[in-house]
């Protein structure tokens, strides 16, 4: 990616005395990690002399975190986010690599657009950015994009972003084409006709609040269709932001049958409930909608048994004026990159649902395998992308301090524990907490 340019030859960094967690090697132990230039030398190499020494006692040292879908909004909606601000937010959240959505304007539906992503990321010099190519031209869902050209341009997977691929024939053909290039197709599993005009989960709270509901079946029907297509085509299917009990059950059974289906969940779907919309705050309006507790418990069970192998931010930044309107008019989505880690600690680590090794796996090896990138590992010779986490530091989430251009978060003012303290990309410290 050209991120190692202009640096002194042969520079070594020793990260001392940290709790090293590397799911790719099943390692969770105290030790020292040695980096040389932009590569990992190894764990406990015996070397105690280095150009740079980082004391990581009491900290977690793990492969750089990877986010599989985040909206960077550039080109087209730079008032919400840019590659520079979005990748700065990613670093602050502990991410060394992110995959960016194709729903820019113009859409990321051709080779030149995919290559432009690498150019912008190189200029920003924050984290690695990998493009997600569009499944259909202009993300309109009607005509397949040039998938072969997108792959040549560096697209690591294909998706129409938050726009569901509603046309069954298009989805069928997308899975077949993508399989030829060993790329996954990401879909946002919702039946558009059942979602339209909806604001929140259809149920008791939507009735009491008088808000138009989105039925849970809008998701599970599409999940069922996509699984059937993946089974038929033997293509690689990834279902983004699953949120219902039935979806988790369908995916679990499909995986047991050998269907190539993966899925992810967001921290906000674990930390929040549909009842939070009683405040009528627009930052609780997300896609898919927040669900009642019984669905959240199913998501946690899915994480525990690895039905859900990835946690993603689903970073959806919007300028303040776009979120300061009536609830039925504001766009769906929140910024997620800078809050993912503390919210995961609060919802998964502290209650004992997941171990640190399991959580790190869902943020490193799981995403790397899905995207097919050589990242998310501390094996000798691997890229020196490392995240050092302080798991005990107490702080309060303050959107005013976000590096993202947008502030649309439901977590402002929330007291949390744990954050990324130092983030190293290609052997270079790109972020550290002041």
Locus of tokens 């691997």: 382
- Say which of 314, 383, 385, 390 is annotated catalytic: 314
The string of DSSP letters for 359-423 reads HHHHHTHHHHHHHT-S-S--STTSB--EEEEEEEEEEE--GGG-SSS----S-TT-EEEEEEEEE
CA 159, chain centre distance (Å): 14
Cβ–Cβ under 8 Å, residues 114 and 146: no
Distance CA 199, CA 219 (A): 14
Distance CA 380, CA 22 (A): 12
Distance CA 419, CA 89 (A): 13
Alpha-carbon dihedral 28, 34, 388, 241, rounded to 10 degrees: -70
CA distances from 159 to 130, 135, 216, 412, 416 (A): 13, 5, 22, 30, 33
Cβ–Cβ under 8 Å, residues 403 and 331: no
Q: Please state the φ and ψ torsions of residue 36, each to the nearest 5 degrees.
A: -130, 120
DSSP 351: T
CB-CB neighbours of 39 under 10 Å: 16
Cβ–Cβ under 8 Å, residues 294 and 245: yes
Q: Is 314 a catalytic residue?
A: yes
CA distances from 166 to 100, 119, 272 (A): 21, 32, 28
Q: Which residues are the active-site residues?
A: 314
């Amino acid at each position: 990616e050209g991120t190692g340019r202009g640096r002194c030859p042969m520079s070594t960094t020793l990260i001392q005395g940290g709790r090293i967690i590397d799911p790719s090697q099943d390692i969770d132990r105290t030790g020292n990690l040695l980096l040389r230039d932009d590569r990992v030398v190894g764990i406990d190499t015996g070397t105690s002399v280095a150009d740079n020494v980082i004391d990581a006692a009491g900290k977690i040292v793990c492969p750089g975190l990877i986010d599989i879908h985040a909206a960077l909004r550039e080109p087209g909606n730079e008032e919400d986010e840019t590659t520079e601000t979005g990748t700065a937010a990613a670093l602050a959240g502990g991410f060394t690599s992110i995959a960016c959505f194709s729903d820019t304007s113009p859409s990321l539906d051709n080779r030149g657009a995919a290559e432009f992503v690498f150019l912008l990321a190189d200029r920003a010099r924050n984290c690695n950015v990998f493009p997600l190519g569009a499944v259909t031209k202009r993300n309109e869902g009607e005509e397949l994009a040039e998938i072969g050209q997108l792959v040549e341009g560096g697209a690591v997977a294909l998706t129409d972003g938050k726009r569901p691929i509603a046309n069954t024939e298009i989805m069928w053909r997308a899975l077949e084409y993508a399989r030829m290039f060993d790329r996954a197709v990401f879909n946002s599993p919702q039946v558009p006709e059942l979602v339209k005009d909806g604001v929140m989960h259809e149920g008791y709270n939507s009735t009491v609040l008088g808000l138009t509901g989105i039925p849970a079946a809008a998701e599970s029907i599409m999940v069922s269709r996509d699984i059937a297509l993946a089974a038929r085509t033997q293509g690689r299917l990834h279902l983004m932001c699953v949120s219902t009990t039935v979806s988790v059950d369908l995916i679990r059974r499909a995986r047991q049958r050998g269907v190539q289906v993966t899925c992810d969940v967001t921290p906000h779907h674990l930390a929040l409930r549909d009842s939070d919309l009683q405040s009528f705050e627009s930052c609780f309006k997300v896609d898919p909608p927040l669900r009642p507790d019984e669905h959240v418990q199913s998501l946690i069970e899915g994480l525990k048994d690895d039905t859900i192998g990835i946690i993603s931010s689903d970073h959806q930044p919007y300028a303040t004026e776009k979120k300061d309107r009536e609830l039925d008019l504001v766009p769906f989505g929140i910024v997620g990159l800078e809050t993912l880690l503390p919210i995961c600690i609060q919802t998964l680590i502290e209650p004992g649902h997941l171990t640190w090794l399991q959580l790190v796996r869902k943020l490193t090896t799981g995403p790397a395998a899905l995207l097919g990138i050589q990242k998310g590992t501390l094996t000798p010779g691997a890229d020196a992308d490392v995240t050092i986490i302080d798991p005990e530091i107490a702080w309060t989430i303050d959107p005013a301090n976000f590096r993202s251009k947008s502030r649309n978060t439901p977590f402002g003012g929330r007291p949390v524990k744990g954050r990324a303290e130092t983030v190293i990309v290609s052997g270079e410290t790109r972020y550290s907490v002041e």
